[in-house]
Amino acid sequence: MATEHGFNAVPRDPEVILKGHNGESPYIPMKEIAVPDTKVVRAVDEYVKKELSRETYNHSVRVYYYGTISISNGH
């Protein structure tokens, strides 16, 4: 179900996430970070844009990008 809606499970254990990480991170252009394009994601995005302040929405988007980069670690 998670993959169907554009979400992926992320391990909680930082040692699992950072396994093999040498402390250096590659440059990842924002245009290469894919935001899932599913019906659920679009509905949630529309909902939170209405319910959250612009600042909180923008913060949430930044957190998504930061988290995506953090877990991808160039792999």
Domain ranges of the chain: 3-72
Region at 36 (left for phi over 0; alpha for psi -120 to 50; beta for the rest): beta
pLDDT of residue 44: 94
User: What is the per-residue pLDDT across 33-68, written as a single tens digit (0 to 9) for each?
Assistant: 888 899 999 999 999 999 999 999 999 999 988 888
pLDDT at 20 over 70: yes
Q: What is d(CA 3, CA 53) in angstroms, rounded to the nearest whole number?
A: 29
pTM over 0.85? The answer is no
Q: How confident is the model at residue 75 (pLDDT cuts 50, 70, 90)?
A: very low
pLDDT at 7 over 50: yes
CB 48 within 8 A of CB 57: yes
